[in-house]
Each structure stands twice: as structure tokens, then as C-alpha cells.
């Protein structure tokens, strides 16, 4: 989750919500260790120089390009995995310039890739992800030699008994899971003063565009790793902003699907009413290809039954470079603009480009009730986190002795030097005091969230103006990492779609002093095809993404570009 815009009338107690959310060569690369073995201060040292890596032949390679290279015989899945693993080892793990975006590598990655090469020879590819290297967030369960911990040392050794549904889908599609990415611990729902991208297990993740800047949370590692070309695509999770925020901070495309389109079974939860997994990629086409693999009905997550008739096996068919022509785009200026002039300037430029592509821009299409969402949302999250995390811990059975949120609080207190060196667990303490989900206070808050965000919010403004989508800045450029004081946020636009359970997609909108800024397209439930069409058309007309330079700090001599 992300930090909300604090404006007049916003309860100050809610001002912090950055949640959510083989071969010998492999054995060498798997020497990547739990980052908590380093002292807590190690990750906070300011980088002194950018890493000097060799030119990377797969830089910015798309899924379709990698697939074509394997089809032609130029590369094999094994060769792709080797190259990405070597790049991770070179740029992610050692020295003052290390990103700390990957928390653990898959020791079976090269063997799995080799097996997929043999299968390709014998039967042909399974689909667009056959042999494609993928990284997944460390709250997504794998029943293999890797851990699933949400970044916390509390869950080290508590290996799930089965893969998450998302991982089952990836494996069935032939994807090669290279490893797990670092994240804001517990999807950043632990402290009111946390630093996005920090976990007890992984240390502080950094932004590859400026190493002293936040990668944002909580899917920080997925964002930084994908931007740095450590994989072809990655999977993140979001409760409120945790896909779109790090994607914007790392100049990526991040798609937060409608709640129910992608299963959450086997994913360490925060909130069953808002959680979703989704693609984090360098292009809209890659996001569409990955979403088609992730989406599907799962008997282990009842809400996915609502996706029947809405889920698509192939979202790439909706991509249209002329997709903005005739589209009605609403601009919700109230609350979502005005907190950072340089960001606003980039979005104004984006609106002019969309208009030039034939879009009809409907200005002042403000989202009613958006300012009233923060308080009931927090109430819902505090209740649901306690209930959902305890249900997850119960599902681990004898693989962990920790069964309650109170147990997690006690574990952190007993391991203060590694789990609480920089910030506390205030949200844990607030959540543990909540009662069951039958409480009237919870039911009232949940009803308010749904009504305010849906029929009185996004649905109302889109119906009034007959809109195809809303657009707004995803957030301001990434701020400085501050382990002492925590994150500093100016504003963002993720909350209405997050609370409603509706989809949103962010795409690169430019740079301020070399720091990425994203533009979000927001729609009604199940409008992923429309959002992908609009985002693709904007991306193709703007072509703004550029790979990161691993600069020690932002170049303050630059203007917005």
C-alpha cells in the first residue's frame, strides 16, 4: 500500500499507509543470502558510485522479442536464465551500489530452463511465456527450495505445502521463476514510520534511477529488479498502491487488476477485500501477456468466481496503437493534482498528447467522496489484516510455531536488532486490538468503503461524463530513502481504485531530475481490456521509458523531461 495524499480534512493519524504492497553456475549464484546477515546499517550507506557492469545484451528485451530469439535458436531458455542470473549477481548483491531488489534466487532455475528447452524441441512452446525468466514478490508462495516470508525473519523455514495459484499458472505457462524479490516487510503494514522497500530479511531496496531514492512500496523489489533488467517481467501484489507506486517510481508499467481477476490463494495476505496480484513490466504488451497467464478462476479463492465472463485468455488482442481515438478521458483534478508542480506539468503534456491522438479530454471530472475514503479504509485493513494473517498462519500447520498476530508482535520484540532497528510495529498493535469480522464497526466501515468508492465514487463520475477511463498522476517523483524518519509522501491517486477493487494501470509519463513519474489510467470493474488499449496507445505515442543509469543520486541540474 502507499501513502495517501494528506490534505485539509484528512485525519493525520492516517498519514502513513505505505502498504500495500541447476547447474554449477546456479549454485554459485544462489550464494545470494538473506540480507539480514548484514548489519542493519549496511543498507543505509549512501552509494558512492554507479555500478560498472558490462553492456547487457538483453537490456529492455520484451517477452515477444525473447520468444522470437528462442524460436530462432539465437537463445535458449537456459541461456536467458544464465544471463539474467549473472546480471543479478553483478548489480544487486555486492558493494555500496547494490540494489538489494532480489531476496533469494531459485536454485532450480537453470535446471527448469533446460527442461523447458527440451520440451520446446520435442513439442513446441506452451505459449508466450515458455522459457521466459520471471521474478515474483516474496509474499507469493512456492513449494520448492525457496522461502516465502513477506520479508520477515519470522517466516523463514515455514515453507508452504503447495504453490500459490499464481505460481501454478506461471509454471503451467512455462515461465522460469528466477527467484523472489525484496519488499516492504508485511506489505508495509507494520509501522506508521516505515521506509518503503525495507525488510528484516532483505534490507533496504534501492531505486535504480537514483540509488539514494525510494523504490516505493510494497512491491519495491519487483519494481527495482524489473527496471534494472534482472528479469523479463515480474509479479507484484497490491492492497493500495503497492503495484502502481513502485512501477511509477521505477518507470514501469504496473497493472493492478480488478479484485477477483487474479487469485490470492497462497499469497501472504493483508486484506481480502483489496488484495490483488498483478504484472510489473517494462511495456504494456508484456503486462497484457502476463495478465492473460495470471487470470483465472481458482476454487481456493472464492472471489475469482466473479471473473467468469470477464477474464480473457489473451489480453494482447486489445492492444491498439490508435486506441485513444474517440476515447473519453476524465481528469480528476481535485485531490490528485496540485501537490507537485513538475509532476503536474508532465501530466499536462500527457493530456495534450492524448488529445492529439484523438482522445476527448473531460476536465474537472472529480471523483466524488474520494476525500472520505481514508478513515474507513484503514479501519477495514486493521480488521482484515488480523483475521487474514492468522488464517494464513493456521494454513502453515506445524511448519511454524507462530499462529497469531500477537505471536508476530512478540517475535519482533524478541528480535529487535534485526526486525525493529529503524521503525516499530504500530499498525500491528492497532490491528491486534480489533475484534472478529462480525463486529458492527468493521461491517459499517466495509459498507462505507464500497459505497463511497464505487457507486458514489468511480462509477458515479464515469457514468456522469460517459468516460472510458480516468487519468491522474500516479504519484510524485520518488523521495529520498530515510530510515530514521520514514517515507515522505506528497500525493498519489491509487486509493479510489484500490478501495473499490477496480483496475488501474500506470505507464511512464516522464522524468523530473531523472526521477520517474507515472500516469495512471483508472476504470470500472473488469475494464482491463479498455485500460490496456488506452495505455498501449499512449505508450506507443509517447515512448518515454528509458533504462535506469544506477546514478548515485538525482541530477538536480535536469528539468522535467
- pLDDT tens track for 102-123: 999 999 999 999 999 999 999 9
Inside any domain, residue 147: yes
Cα first-last separation, the chain = 27
Sequential DSSP letters for 56-99:
PTTTT--HHHHHHHHHHTS--HHHHHHHHHHHHHHHTSSSTT--
Residue with cell 560498472: 52
Residue 13 has pLDDT above 80, yes or no: no
Cβ neighbourhood burial of 263 (10 Å; 0-12, 13-18, 19+): buried
Q: Given the DSSP bridges, would you call strands 133-137 and 102-105 parallel, antiparallel or unpaired?
A: unpaired
Residues of the chain above pLDDT 90, percent: 88
List pLDDT tens digits, range 379-414.
999 999 999 999 999 999 999 999 999 999 999 999
Lowest-confidence pick of 15-29, 42-56, 84-98, 249-263: 15-29
Residue 25 has pLDDT above 80, yes or no: no
Compute the distance between CA of residue 168 and CA of residue 268 in angstroms, rounded to an integer: 16
List pLDDT tens digits, range 454-501.
999 999 999 999 999 999 999 999 999 999 999 999 999 999 999 999
Residue 46 has pLDDT above 80, yes or no: no
List pLDDT tens digits, range 192-203.
999 999 999 999
Lowest-confidence pick of 11-20, 148-157, 323-332: 11-20
> pTM surpassing 0.75?
yes
Inside any domain, residue 34: no
Mean pLDDT of 228-239: 98
Coil, helix or strand for 231? coil
List pLDDT tens digits, range 319-338.
999 999 999 999 999 999 99
pLDDT at 94: 83
Compute the distance between CA of residue 205 and CA of residue 280 in angstroms, rounded to an integer: 16
Inside any domain, residue 444: yes
pLDDT at 11: 31
pLDDT at 56: 96
Residues 6 or more apart in contact with residue 233 via CB below 8 angstroms: 63, 132, 134, 226, 279, 280, 281, 282, 286, 287, 289, 290
pLDDT at 95: 79
Coil, helix or strand for 377? helix
**Which of residues 8 and 170 earns the better pLDDT score?**
170
Mean pLDDT of 407-424: 98
Residue 395 grid coordinates: 494454513
Residue 9 has pLDDT above 70, yes or no: no
Residues of the chain above pLDDT 70, percent: 90
pLDDT at 22: 33
List pLDDT tens digits, range 168-218.
999 999 999 999 999 999 999 999 999 999 999 999 999 999 999 999 989
CATH number assigned to the domain comprising residue 212 = 3.90.1300.10
Inside any domain, residue 29: no
pLDDT at 93: 86
Inside any domain, residue 2: no
Inside any domain, residue 92: yes
Inside any domain, residue 1: no
The residues carrying an active-site annotation are: 137, 218, 242
pLDDT at 175: 98
Average pLDDT score, the chain = 92
Q: In terms of residue numbers, what domain contains 509?
A: 43-49+58-542
Mean pLDDT of 80-98: 93
Count CA atoms within 13 Å of residue 329 on its CB side: 31
Residue 44 has pLDDT above 70, yes or no: no
Inside any domain, residue 38: no
Q: How confident is the model at residue 1 (pLDDT cuts 50, 70, 90)?
A: low
pLDDT at 34: 37
Q: How many domains does the chain have?
A: 1
Cβ neighbourhood burial of 556 (10 Å; 0-12, 13-18, 19+): exposed
Amino acid at each position: 500500500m502507499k501513502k495517501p495524499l494528506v490534505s485539509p480534512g484528512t485525519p493525520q493519524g492516517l498519514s502513513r499507509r505505505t502498504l500495500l504492497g541447476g547447474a554449477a553456475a546456479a549454485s554459485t549464484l544462489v550464494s545470494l543470502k538473506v540480507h539480514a546477515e548484514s548489519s542493519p546499517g549496511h543498507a543505509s550507506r549512501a552509494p558512492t558510485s554507479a555500478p560498472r557492469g558490462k553492456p547487457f545484451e538483453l537490456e529492455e528485451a520484451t517477452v515477444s522479442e525473447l520468444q522470437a530469439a528462442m524460436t530462432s535458436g539465437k537463445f535458449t531458455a537456459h541461456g536467458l536464465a544464465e544471463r539474467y542470473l549473472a546480471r543479478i549477481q553483478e548489480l544487486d548483491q555486492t558493494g555500496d551500489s547494490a540494489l538489494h531488489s532480489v531476496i533469494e534466487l531459485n536454485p532450480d532455475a537453470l535446471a527448469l530452463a533446460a527442461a523447458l528447452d527440451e520440451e520446446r524441441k520435442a513439442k513446441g512452446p506452451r505459449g508466450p511465456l515458455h522459457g521466459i525468466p520471471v521474478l515474483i514478490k516474496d509474499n507469493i508462495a512456492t513449494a520448492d527450495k525457496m522461502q516465502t516470508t513477506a520479508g520477515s525473519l519470522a517466516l523463514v523455514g515455514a515453507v508452504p505445502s503447495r504453490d500459490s495459484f499464481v505460481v501454478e499458472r506461471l509454471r503451467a505457462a512455462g515461465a522460469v521463476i528466477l527467484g523472489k524479490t525484496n519488499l516492504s516487510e508485511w506489505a508495509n503494514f507494520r509501522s506508521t514510520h516505515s521506509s518503503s522497500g525495507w525488510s528484516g530479511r532483505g534490507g533496504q531496496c534501492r531505486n535504480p534511477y537514483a540509488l539514494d531514492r525510494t523504490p516505493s512500496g510494497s512491491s519495491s523489489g519487483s519494481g527495482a529488479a524489473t527496471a534494472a533488467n534482472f528479469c523479463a517481467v515480474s509479479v507484484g501484489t497490491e492492497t493500495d498502491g503497492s503495484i502502481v507506486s513502485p512501477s511509477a517510481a521505477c518507470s514501469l508499467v504496473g497493472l493492478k487488476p480488478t479484485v477477483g481477476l487474479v487469485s490470492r490463494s497462497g499469497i501472504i495476505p493483508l486484506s481480502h477485500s483489496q488484495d490483488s496480484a498483478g504484472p510489473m513490466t517494462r511495456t504494456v504488451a508484456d503486462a497484457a501477456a502476463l495478465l492473460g497467464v495470471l487470470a483465472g478462476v481458482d476454487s481456493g479463492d472464492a472471489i475469482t468466481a466473479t471473473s467468469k465472463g470477464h477474464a480473457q485468455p489473451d489480453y494482447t488482442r486489445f492492444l491498439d496503437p490508435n486506441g485513444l481515438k474517440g476515447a473519453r478521458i476524465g481528469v480528476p483534478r481535485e485531490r490528485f493534482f496540485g501537490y507537485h508542480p513538475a509532476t503536474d506539468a508532465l501530466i499536462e503534456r500527457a493530456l495534450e498528447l492524448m488529445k492529439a491522438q484523438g482522445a476527448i479530454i473531460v476536465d474537472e471530472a472529480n471523483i466524488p467522496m474520494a476525500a472520505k475514503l481514508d478513515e474507513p479504509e484503514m479501519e477495514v485493513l486493521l480488521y482484515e489484516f488480523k483475521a487474514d494473517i492468522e488464517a494464513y498462519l493456521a494454513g502453515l500447520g506445524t511448519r511454524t510455531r507462530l499462529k497469531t498476530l500477537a505471536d508476530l508482535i512478540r517475535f519482533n520484540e524478541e528480535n529487535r536488532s534485526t526486525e525493529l532497528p529503524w521503525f516499530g510495529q504500530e499498525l500491528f498493535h492497532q490491528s491486534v486490538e480489533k475484534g472478529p469480522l462480525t463486529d458492527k464497526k468493521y461491517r459499517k466501515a466495509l459498507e462505507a468503503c464500497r459505497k463511497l468508492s464505487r457507486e458514489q465514487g468511480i462509477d458515479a463520475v464515469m457514468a456522469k461524463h460517459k468516460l472510458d477511463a480516468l487519468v491522474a498522476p500516479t504519484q510524485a517523483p520518488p523521495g529520498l530513502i530515510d530510515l530514521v524518519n520514514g517515507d515522505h509522501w506528497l500525493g498519489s491517486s491509487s486509493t479510489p481504485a484500490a478501495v473499490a477493487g477496480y483496475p488501474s494501470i500506470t505507464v511512464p509519463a516522464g522524468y523530473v531530475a531523472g526521477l520517474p513519474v507515472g500516469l495512471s489510467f483508472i476504470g470500472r470493474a473488469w475494464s482491463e481490456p479498455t485500460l490496456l488499449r488506452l495505455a498501449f496507445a499512449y505508450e506507443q505515442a509517447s515512448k518515454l521509458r528509458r533504462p535506469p543509469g544506477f546514478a548515485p543520486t538525482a541530477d538536480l541540474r535536469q528539468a522535467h523531461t
